Amino acid sequence: MSVVERSSSTSAPVRETDPLLKDLNEKKQSFRKNVVSLAAELKEVRNRLASQEQSFAKETETRHEAVLCVLVFYRMQKIRQESWKRRLADCRRDWKREMASFRFQLLLLISTSWSWMVSDHNLQPLKQLRRQVLPQLSQHSFNV
């Protein structure tokens, strides 16, 4: 067979397959469009994923900062509470000391007054009253 014959013999089947080639070309073009469309969609999805990852990282950082702030606030509250407890204990101790001092001064004043009154006037009823009142006052002691 010669070249001419071949081309003529092959041209007949090509013409017969033209609709098949046309269909194949259409499918090829459709496939290319789908690939381009899928590539664009993949790019968009990747961009959304990157955006979500950034958003997640920012949210995580924000939560860590919030937790840190809460911990700092809690620690400061504890420090403040301990400080108030110490101040209250100091106030109580100081108050007890002052009350003990006032009690002592009051007993001293009463004792001196009674002694003066009894010695100057020699009053028996006052001596009896003194014996009753002073023990009662000394029973009300303030612990320091």
pTM of the model: 0.44
Give yes or no for a contact between 96 and 142, defined as CB atoms under 8 angstroms apart.
yes
* In-domain check, residue 71: yes
pLDDT value for 127:
64
Residue 107 covered by a domain: yes
Tokens 């469009």 label which residue? 33
Residues of the domain holding 39? 3-139
In the chain, how many domains are there? 1
| Cα(104)–Cα(97) distance, integer angstroms | 11
Considering the domain boundaries, does residue 11 fall inside one?
yes
26 within some domain: yes
* Cβ atoms within 10 Å of 134's Cβ, excluding its own: 14
**pLDDT tens digit sequence for 54-109:** 999 999 999 999 999 999 999 999 999 999 999 999 999 999 999 999 999 988 88
The mean of the pLDDT values for the chain is 82
Q: What is the pLDDT of residues 46-57, one digit of tens each?
A: 999 999 999 999
Residue 113: what pLDDT?
80
C-alpha angle with apex 66: 60 to 67, nearest 5 degrees? Answer: 90
Q: Does 19 map to a domain?
A: yes
Q: Which residue has the higher pLDDT, 2 or 34?
A: 34
Predicted pLDDT at 2: 42
- Top pLDDT among 70 and 15 is at 70
Q: How far apart are CA 144 and CA 138, in angstroms?
A: 15
pLDDT band at 140 (very low <50, low <70, confident <90, very high): low
Residue 66 inside a domain? The answer is yes
* Residue 144 lies inside a defined structural domain of this protein: no
Residue 107, CA atoms < 13 Å, CB-side half-sphere: 15
Query: What mean pLDDT is predicted for residues 35-50?
Result: 96
